[in-house]
Amino acid sequence: MTAHGQVLESSHFRLEEMADGVYAAIHIDGGAAISNAGVVDLGERTLVYDAFMAPHAAVDLRAAAEALFDRPIYAVIDSHWHYDHIWGNQAFSADTDIISTEETRRLFIATKGHGAYNEFVATAEVNLETNQVALARAEDESERRQLKMWVDFYQGVVDLKSTLRIRPPNLTFDECMILHGRDRRVELLNFENGHTESDIVLWLPEERIAFMGDLLFIGNQPYLGGGDPDSLCWILDQVSALEPRLLLSGHGPVGEADSLDVMVQYVRTLDGLARQMAEDGEPEEALAAVPVPEPFGDWLLASFFPGNLLFLYQRWLQRQASMPA
The residue-averaged pLDDT of 285-312 equals: 95
The residue that leads in pLDDT, 321 or 81, is 81
Residues in contact with 137: Cβ distance below 8 Å, sequence separation at least 6, in sequence order: none
Query: What interhelical angle do 258-279 and 229-241 show, nearest 10?
Result: 160
At residue 193, what are phi and psi to the nearest 5 degrees? 60, 35
Does the pLDDT value for residue 185 go beyond 90? yes
Does the pLDDT value for residue 275 go beyond 50? yes
pLDDT category of residue 108 using cuts at 50, 70 and 90? confident
Give the Cα separation of 267 and 232 in Å (integer).
Answer: 8
Does the pLDDT value for residue 263 go beyond 70? yes
The residue-averaged pLDDT of 286-293 equals: 95
Looking at residue 119, what is its pLDDT?
A: 78
Helical spans, DSSP H, in the chain: 55-69, 83-86, 102-112, 115-122, 124-137, 141-160, 229-241, 258-279, 304-322
In our burial notation (b when 16+ CB lie closer than 10 A, e otherwise), range 190-204 reads bbebbbbbbbbbbbb
Share of the chain above pLDDT 90, in %: 82
Looking at residue 5, what is its pLDDT?
A: 41
Contact by Cβ (8 Å): 36, 99:
no
Does the pLDDT value for residue 325 go beyond 70? no
The residue-averaged pLDDT of 1-24 equals: 79
Residues in contact with 104: Cβ distance below 8 Å, sequence separation at least 6, in sequence order: 78, 80, 81, 169, 172, 196, 197, 198, 200
pLDDT category of residue 140 using cuts at 50, 70 and 90? confident
Looking at residue 47, what is its pLDDT?
A: 98
Prediction pTM value: 0.93
Share of the chain above pLDDT 70, in %: 96
The residue-averaged pLDDT of 120-133 equals: 91
Give the Cα separation of 325 and 321 in Å (integer).
Answer: 9
Does the pLDDT value for residue 249 go beyond 80? yes
Give the Cα separation of 80 and 200 in Å (integer).
Answer: 7
Give the Cα separation of 82 and 153 in Å (integer).
Answer: 14
Cα distances (Å, whole numbers) of residue 204 to 42, 151, 217, 225, 239: 11, 35, 19, 29, 12
State pLDDT tens for residues 48-86.
Answer: 999 999 999 999 999 999 999 999 999 999 999 998 999
CB atoms within 10 A of CB 162: 6
Report for 132-136, 146-150, 185-189: range of highest mean pLDDT: 185-189
Does the pLDDT value for residue 97 go beyond 60? yes
CA-nearest of 26, 168, 175 to 97 is: 168
Looking at residue 230, what is its pLDDT?
A: 97
Give the Cα separation of 167 and 101 in Å (integer).
Answer: 15
The residue-averaged pLDDT of 184-212 equals: 97
Domains of the chain with bracketed CATH:
13-113+164-322 (3.60.15.10)
The residue-averaged pLDDT of 94-113 equals: 89
- Work out the mean pLDDT of the chain and round it to a whole number: 92
CB atoms within 10 A of CB 142: 12
Cα distances (Å, whole numbers) of residue 305 to 258, 277, 301, 302: 22, 15, 8, 6
- Least trusted range by pLDDT, from 3-12, 57-66, 144-153, 172-181: 3-12
Looking at residue 32, what is its pLDDT?
A: 92
